[in-house]
């Protein structure tokens, strides 16, 4: 808790704080929380995909539904379920919550293997963040308990619509690309 409080005071910047005999860097906290949030979010996506495929026996339908959800998982105030659990948020470069469009755009999944390496080297900004001009910062006021009130106050806007269209177009583009690759094997 003290680590996160110090991060909030520093606006999620890369300072450090002494805890006992060990100095904890804010980037370490962000990387640790980002990794935990990633695991939670993708476990949820895998469960949803597994249920769809099990119930419909249609792998394609599972991808068609889960991929746009994955692309837009951070739409509500820059926080997915995993990010809410661990007190981090997708933010613009000024430290405010990122728009729905930027939150979606940063999730381009073609670059995941390279992106994972970049995340280890630069915890607050992976390749998708650099492309979308976003970063991960600390934000503790919105959590799992506030989702209901946030959804009540949320209004559909053009940023969300662009994000959803981008997610759907991206899956079709990936399927087309994979089709070309597989047909050439």
Closest by CA to 126, choosing from 136, 137, 118, 138, is 118
What tens digit of pLDDT does each residue of 99-152 get?
A: 888 888 887 755 566 777 777 777 778 888 888 899 998 887 777 778 788 878
Specify the pLDDT at position 54. 95
What tens digit of pLDDT does each residue of 16-33 get?
A: 444 444 434 677 788 889
Sign (positive or negative) of CA dihedral 116, 118, 98, 156: negative
Q: In angstroms, rounded to a whole number, what is the distance separating the alpha carbons of residues 179 and 66?
A: 19
Q: In angstroms, rounded to a whole number, what is the distance separating the alpha carbons of residues 119 and 161?
A: 28
């Amino acid at each position: 808790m003290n680590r996160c409080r110090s991060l909030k005071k520093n606006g999620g910047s890369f300072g450090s704080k002494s805890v006992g005999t060990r100095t904890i860097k804010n980037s370490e906290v962000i990387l640790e929380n980002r990794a935990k949030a990633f695991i939670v979010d993708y476990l949820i996506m895998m469960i949803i995909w597994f249920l769809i495929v099990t119930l419909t026996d249609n792998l394609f339908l599972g991808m068609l539904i889960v991929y746009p959800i994955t692309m837009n998982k951070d739409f509500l105030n820059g926080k997915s379920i995993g990010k809410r659990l661990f007190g981090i948020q997708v933010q613009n470069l000024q430290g405010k919550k990122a728009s729905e469009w930027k939150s979606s755009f940063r999730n381009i999944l073609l670059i995941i293997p390279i992106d994972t390496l970049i995340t280890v080297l630069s915890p607050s900004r992976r390749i998708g963040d650099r492309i979308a001009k976003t970063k991960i910062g600390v934000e503790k006021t919105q959590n799992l308990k506030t989702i209901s009130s946030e959804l009540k106050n949320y209004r559909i806007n053009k940023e969300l619509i662009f994000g959803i269209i981008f997610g759907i177009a991206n899956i079709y583009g990936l399927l087309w690309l994979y089709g070309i690759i597989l047909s050439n094997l």
